[in-house]
């Protein structure tokens, strides 16, 4: 069964401005698309038969609702899914099809995002002021005295990469931005960066939990965000979400999603990404070619984020070590989530040199080729290649599941390679790597889960050994950067090795209260080896340890 999405290509920049009628048509098209895909799958695979799909959805939803707090909405949903569970086993094929359509329609209503340009302009004005308010710890006097100058993007957010190139491609096709994911601040930082670069607004999938706050929900609901409920795991829900994301790309809405999924709890650069939503780009490209769209192309823009300090570092590394270490990891202290701790983080950001770095990487096509400013794909030898030739067969552009899965896998590998080569290193990462590796060398018999418990006296090492490690590390980093294998913050290239350690010491003290790095007489140590390990991991996977080639 072939199905084409017939929502017209809107004339609005970025494709986000849709009339109520267009939104209604879009919803209906997504429902029909998801329904058609389910029926196609059911024809060849019994695992996708209607009764199996309905049972899968009802089972997952009722299980999820058992853990939900009591509320009127929870009771309503329980009643709905209990009715589905009791009805479908005895229903005929036509009734089962109607139940499937109703479930998909409900999911689409929940997922759909909206965009209001007035709210977008308001958010663009308020966000820098929000940063300023947080920097002054929400002190009315401090805030008013700082109103003379706007939040300084040049000082607090450093944006690098081929911005003009990307802006030109946004006029030639639809962009999919795929950033690394370290913090809950990422979406806000990226949104501010896109606006400051005069790039068009992007739609993005946001966790349903973010819509529970009335103020945040207002902005999310009017800035093109579509809702993603990560508690829902049924095949119907996942397929509907993918159909919706594909539709947004097809009608020209630039998309942003974090291919790694959740925040990177280890603190390193992503080593794996999820290919499901990434494959939406190829589906949209093929559908655009079949329907003769004027701008059929979808371009990928990887993006890397780097923070000198990460607000959630303690909880993230605790979760990672607990998950990987199981019984070997002993959790000694639970992190405090007090508001004053979060405000302290923001207050101290302003005192750091270029603490948030965002790099927009070179754009690529859906098959991993670089794309030039004119929108031409180029192979590794720099020759122009026709993107359509990858999916054209006898003049037609029909999907091939096995072929398309391989293309998406290659695209994923290309994005990961871009993440690694454009990973931005700051002084806190260099110092943490050097101290951790020095402590590790002094305790060769300890495994990781014992090392992260060597806080305080047990982690002391000669200060001279740490300095020696930094002097060993920096030339290797500069050499790696020259080979386009990593990126260093500009100030790091100019800083003498020992000043790097001193700068990192000041950074850590400003937020982590000296837990990460401590210096006492001629020794260096850590009061929180887990945090030290987290920041150290930003330089993992490059073979920079002593003794490696």
pLDDT in tens, 212-237: 666 666 666 656 677 888 888 898 99
Contact assessment for residue 108 and residue 94, using Cβ atoms and an 8 Å cutoff: no
Binned at pLDDT 50, 70 and 90, residue 201 comes out as confident
174-183, 298-307, 326-335, 507-516: the lowest-pLDDT one: 326-335
Q: Please tell me the distance from the alpha carbon of residue 350 to that of residue 198, in angstroms, as a whole number.
A: 24
Interhelix angle 93-111/235-250, nearest 10 degrees = 60
**Can you give the pLDDT at residue 299?**
98
pLDDT at 492 over 60: yes
d(CA 469, CA 415): 31
Strand order in the sheet with 370-371: 370-371, 377-378, 384-385
Sheet holding 461-462, edge to edge: 461-462, 523-525, 518-520
Q: How confident is the model at residue 122 (pLDDT cuts 50, 70, 90)?
A: low
Tens digit of pLDDT for each residue in 247-306? 989 988 899 889 998 889 999 999 999 888 899 999 999 999 999 998 999 999 999 999
Q: Identify the DSSP state of 404.
A: H
Q: Are 105 and 31 in contact (CB under 8 A)?
A: yes
pLDDT at residue 509 is higher than 90:
no
Q: Say how many C-beta atoms besides its own lie within 10 A of residue 483's C-beta.
A: 9
Mean pLDDT along residues 139-154: 41
- What percent of the chain stands above pLDDT 90? 54
pLDDT at 342 over 80: no
Q: How far is CA 461 from the centre of its chain?
A: 37
Per the prediction, the chain carries an average pLDDT of: 84
What pLDDT score was predicted for residue 41? 83
Indicate the pLDDT class of residue 26, thresholds 50, 70 and 90: confident
Distance (Å, whole) CA 176 – CA 392: 22
* pLDDT of 321: 93
pLDDT at residue 369 above 70? yes
Q: What's the confidence (pLDDT) of residue 42? A: 82
Residue 6 has pLDDT above 80, yes or no: no
**The model's pTM:** 0.85
Reference 134, options 314, 307, 313, 342; nearest CA is 342
Nearest-angstrom CA–CA distance, 296 and 285: 6
Reading across the β-sheet that carries 174-179, which strands appear in turn?
A: 157-160, 356-360, 298-307, 174-179, 255-256, 203-207, 225-228
**Distances in Å between the alpha carbon of 107 and those of 42, 76, 101, 241, 482?**
20, 15, 10, 8, 49
**What pLDDT score was predicted for residue 137?**
36
Give the model's pLDDT for residue 81: 95
Picking from 208, 206, 204, the residue whose alpha carbon sits closest to that of residue 176 is 204
Q: What is the pLDDT of residues 93-102, one digit of tens each?
A: 899 999 999 9
Q: In the predicted model, is pLDDT for residue 524 greater than 60?
A: yes
* Residue 361: Cβ-neighbour burial (10 angstroms; 0-12, 13-18, 19+): buried
With a CB cutoff of 8 Å and minimum separation 6, the contacts of 125 are none
415: pLDDT strictly greater than 80: yes
The sign one gets for the Cα dihedral 390, 392, 397, 399 is: negative
155-169, 200-214, 281-295: least confidently modelled range:
200-214
């Amino acid at each position: 069964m072939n199905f084409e999405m017939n929502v017209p290509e809107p004339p609005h920049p970025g494709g986000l401005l849709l009339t109520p009628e267009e939104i209604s048509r879009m919803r209906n098209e997504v429902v029909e698309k998801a329904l058609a895909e389910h029926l196609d799958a059911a024809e060849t695979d019994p695992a996708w038969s209607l009764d199996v799909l309905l049972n899968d959805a009802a089972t997952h939803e009722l299980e999820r609702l058992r853990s939900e707090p009591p509320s009127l909405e929870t009771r309503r949903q329980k009643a709905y899914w209990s009715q589905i569970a009791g009805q479908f086993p005895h229903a005929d094929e036509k009734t089962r099809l109607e139940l499937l359509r109703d479930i998909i329609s409900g999911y689409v209503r929940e997922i759909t995002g909206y965009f209001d340009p007035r709210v977008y302009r308001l958010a663009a004005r308020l966000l820098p002021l929000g940063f300023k308010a947080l920097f002054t710890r929400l002190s009315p006097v401090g805030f008013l005295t700082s109103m003379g100058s706007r939040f300084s993007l040049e000082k607090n957010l450093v944006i690098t990469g081929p911005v003009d190139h990307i802006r030109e491609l946004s006029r030639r096709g639809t962009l999919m931005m795929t950033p690394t994911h370290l913090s809950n601040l990422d979406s806000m930082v990226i949104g501010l960066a896109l606006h400051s670069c005069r790039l068009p607004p992007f739609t993005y999938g946001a966790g349903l939990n973010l819509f529970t706050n009335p103020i945040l929900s207002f902005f999310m609901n009017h800035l093109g965000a579509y809702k993603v409920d990560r508690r829902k795991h049924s095949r119907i829900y996942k397929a509907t979400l993918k159909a919706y994301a594909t539709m947004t790309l097809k009608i020209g809405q630039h998309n942003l999603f974090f291919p790694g999924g959740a925040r990177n709890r280890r603190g390193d650069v992503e080593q794996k990404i999820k290919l499901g939503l990434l494959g939406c780009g190829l589906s949209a490209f093929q559908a655009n070619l079949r329907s003769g769209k004027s701008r059929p192309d979808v371009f990928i823009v990887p993006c890397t984020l780097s923070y000198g300090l990460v607000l959630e570092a303690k909880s993230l590394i605790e979760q990672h070590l607990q998950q990987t270490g199981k019984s070997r990891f002993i959790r000694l202290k639970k992190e405090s989530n007090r508001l004053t701790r979060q405000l302290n983080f923001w207050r101290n950001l302003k005192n750091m040199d270029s603490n948030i770095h965002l790099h927009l990487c070179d754009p690529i096509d859906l098959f991993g080729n670089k794309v030039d400013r004119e929108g031409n794909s180029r192979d590794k030898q720099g020759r122009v290649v026709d993107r359509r030739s990858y999916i054209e067969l006898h003049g037609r552009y029909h999907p091939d599941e096995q072929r398309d899965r391989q293309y998406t896998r290659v695209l994923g590998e290309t994005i990961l390679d871009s993440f690694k080569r454009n990973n931005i290193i700051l002084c806190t990462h260099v110092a943490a790597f050097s101290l951790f590796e020095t402590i590790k060398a002094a305790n060769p018999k300890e495994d990781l889960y014992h090392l992260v418990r060597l806080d305080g006296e047990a982690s002391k090492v000669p200060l001279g050994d740490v300095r020696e490690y930094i002097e060993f590390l920096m030339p290797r980093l500069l050499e790696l950067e020259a080979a386009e294998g990593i990126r260093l913050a500009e100030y790091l290239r100019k800083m003498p090795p020992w000043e790097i350690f001193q700068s990192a010491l000041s950074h850590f003290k400003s937020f982590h209260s000296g837990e990460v790095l401590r210096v006492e007489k001629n020794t260096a140590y850590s009061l929180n080896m887990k945090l030290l390990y987290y920041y150290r991991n930003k330089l993992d996977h490059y073979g920079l340890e002593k003794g490696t080639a």
